Amino acid sequence: MVFWVAGFFARNIADIRPLFQWMPLLMIFLVAALTMRSWSEEQRSGTLESLLTSPVAPLKLVLGKFVAMLSLVALALLLTLPLPLTVSFMGPLDWGPVMGVMSPRCF
């Protein structure tokens, strides 16, 4: 797990720095796994041929896959929001770094 509770309480500071230290590495693997799997799943299930021969432009297919994966990664980031909310109840939390991680520029 990327957030160690013992380390959080030992420092006696209300921040989520350990999560932010591992977030870029986790996002690299998450985004790579999601994007590669989306096309390989199409090929494995046999629907890639029908997609490529459909009257839809290949650019629209790629953009559709991109938007779908972008929304899935945004959902994954949104699901980490309860952690800073919980920490903010324990003490004063600096929301700047939290919003920096949650911003669209991270994608």
Instruction: Specify the pLDDT at position 2.
Output: 46
Say what the pTM is.
0.66
**pLDDT band for position 10 (50/70/90)?**
low
Q: Does the pLDDT value for residue 75 go beyond 80?
A: yes
pLDDT digits (tens, 9 = 90+) for 18-66: 667 777 888 888 888 888 888 888 889 888 888 888 898 889 988 998 8
Residue boundaries of the structural domains of the chain: 5-100
> For tokens 């991270």, what's the residue?
106
> For tokens 């629907």, what's the residue?
47
